[in-house]
Structure 1
Amino acid sequence: MAIITLTTDFGLKDHFVAVLKGSIYTELPDAKIVDISHDIMPFNIHECAYVLSNSYKSFPKGTIHIVGVDSEETPDNKHVVALVNGHYFISANTGVIGLITSEMTPEKVVEINLPDSIANSFPVLNVFIQVACHIARGGTLEIVGKPFSGLNDLREFAPRIVEDGKKIIGSVIYIDNYGNVITNIRKNLFDAYRNGRDFKLLARNHKIDKIHNAYNDFIDYSLEKGQRKSAGDLLAIFNSSDYIELAIYKSNLTTVGGASTLLGLDYRDTIMVDFE
């Protein structure tokens, strides 16, 4: 039985996620359901794409990914299924599929057309679940829809290179559960323009001149404990997805706060790298 993943902006306070899972189990008692996230910022397609693009590759091919963010159908926002790199993505045509699979061409895309579906405010239940269960049973995409070539191209906001390569202007694309701030500046872009030069990473009125490869690299263990940097100090790392990330070492949002709150940074705020 194929794995079915769920990524939504529904949260866990309400009944919606339970209804989705119950409906899948009613159709497929042996189903394997994995929650990727239900805490996507409401209607935030870029955040949804960031979370899914950094998680779906860890699942086996044949996995079915249900995307429940901005899922109501409109003439500009058709319901689609895309087969990409052996994975099925069921979503509204919001541009999220293109962001997730920006470096790959879908093997097949269909516009969903279920004659017995009910048009209402919960299409993830009434449309996406039906399609996912059909695929999980071994059904083909041709049964649920017709070929579709109009995937929306929602551009990921890319860093800008200015002043003849002396400066990278990036943006905040995600804030994680620790309050860490993830930028859209990738390691390969940073390395390509650095060329061995010193640099300053600028975030609000803070300047950082070193980027680590792991959180613990921030600590100089050759120093006595009282002389080391410690919890509450600001650092930058290349995270596991190779983006520049700003963090407060061992942050706790309920006590000292995280990088997002302490630096006053939010989604789409500017982060700059100046090469010297």
Structure 2
Amino acid sequence: MIITLLSDFGYQDNFVGVAKGVLLQRLPVARLIDLNHEVEPFHLLQCSYLLKSAYANFPARTVHLSLFDIMHRNPASLLVTEIDNQYIVSADNGLLPLTFNARLGKVHVHDRIVGSYLEWLTLAADFIAGLEQNDFNIAGLSTVTPKVHPARLQAVVKDNSIECQVIHIDRYENVVINLTRDEFEAQRRGRKFRIQIIRDILTHISNDYSDVPVSEKLCLFNSAGYMEIAINQGKASSLLGLRLHNERQLIYQNIKIEFL
């Protein structure tokens, strides 16, 4: 069995190691794969992007275990859904409806609720072990409507413009915004455009980072299909002054695309 792990634990503490230890006690031959453990704490939008852009790349019947914001509600419940023959396990913290939106089918809930992170992790490990033993049959579990339904942060579309927000900054400081290629092309309709990034403007979509000289700015659609602002062999986030969107801030940055 393959189990992917996604969390906001980071590596300063031992939480990632403890999680793997609990899982391996019950699933000693499981293959544990780290998707990411450096999600910005409590940043649901970033966690959703990382899950959505990764899950479909795995073999059928992979279990994707989200350890993000487990105790969003206390006591905490364990939710599971099946999508594209993949199994997503999460707490009821808004991740499933935000990530899959209209594609989200039945959401099943474990009959136990727990009062701590470690209890939830143990419950998840036992559940995943049982899932394998029962040939991935979750039909016997009760269904539920997730209690947490966050508003999806969408790009603001107007007749001649789109206003976007930053949803992820990767290790290279490439900046991902909440706009897919399909959404962009549907609004563009063959028109010229300019992307306003604070004091800089881009007017061309590149296919690869090397399309521009070293240290030059560019815009492309990444492997997940989202628009990305980058600098060839440079740090776009730092050099362009772009930061991760934070819904708790009253003022945040927009990246505006105007169609001409």
What is the TM-score of this pair, normalised by structure 1? 0.84
* Counterparts of 1:92 and 1:16, CA distance in 2: 17
Q: What stretches of structure 2 of length at least 5 have no aligned partner?
A: 246-252
1:109 aligns with one of 107, 110, 117: 107
Q: Does 1:138 align with 2:134?
A: yes
* Counterparts of 2:21 and 2:160, CA distance in 1: 54
Q: Matched residue of 1:182: which SS?
A: strand
* Counterparts of 1:31 and 1:77, CA distance in 2: 25
CA contact 1:186–1:244 (8 Å) conserved in 2: yes
Quote the residue 1:51 is aligned against: 50
1:151-162 map, 5 Å: 152-162=148-158
* Counterparts of 1:195 and 1:61, CA distance in 2: 37
Change (3 A) 1:76 1:168: farther
Q: What stretches of structure 1 of length at least 5 have no aligned partner?
A: 219-228, 252-257
Q: Does 1:171 align with 2:165?
A: yes
Q: Does 1:122 align with 2:106?
A: no
Q: CA deviation at 1:126?
A: 2.5
* Counterparts of 2:118 and 2:239, CA distance in 1: 38
Q: Does 1:29 align with 2:23?
A: no
Quote the residue 2:248 is aligned against: none
Quote the residue 2:223 is aligned against: 240
Q: Does 1:184 align with 2:178?
A: yes
Identity of aligned residues (%): 29
Q: Matched residue of 1:128: which SS?
A: helix
Quote the residue 2:14 is aligned against: 15
Quote the residue 1:222 is aligned against: none
Q: CA deviation at 1:73?
A: 5.8
Q: How much is the aligned-residue C-alpha RMSD, in angstroms?
A: 2.1
CA contact 1:211–1:237 (8 Å) conserved in 2: yes
1:204 aligns with one of 198, 211, 218: 198
Change (3 A) 1:77 1:122: closer
* Counterparts of 2:139 and 2:193, CA distance in 1: 53
Matched to 1:28, the amino acid is L
Q: Does 1:270 align with 2:254?
A: yes
CA contact 1:66–1:132 (8 Å) conserved in 2: no
Residues 12-43 of structure 1 show CA distances to partners (whole Å, capped at 9, x for unaligned) of: 22211111212222212211111111111111
Residues 168-223 of structure 1 show CA distances to partners (whole Å, capped at 9, x for unaligned) of: 111111111111111112222222222332211001111111111211222xxxxx
What is the TM-score of this pair, normalised by structure 2? 0.88
Change (3 A) 1:147 1:185: closer
| Structure with greater Cα Rg | 1
CA contact 2:219–2:227 (8 Å) conserved in 1: yes
Residues 54-101 of structure 1 show CA distances to partners (whole Å, capped at 9, x for unaligned) of: 111011121111111110162696431112222211111111112222
Equivalent pairs counted in the alignment come to 252
* Counterparts of 2:31 and 2:165, CA distance in 1: 36
Matched to 2:33, the amino acid is V
Q: Matched residue of 1:35: which SS?
A: strand
Moved over 4 A (4+): none
Matched to 1:20, the amino acid is A
Residues 107-160 of structure 1 show CA distances to partners (whole Å, capped at 9, x for unaligned) of: x3222223xx763243442322222222133364366x5221335332321111
* Counterparts of 1:51 and 1:113, CA distance in 2: 28
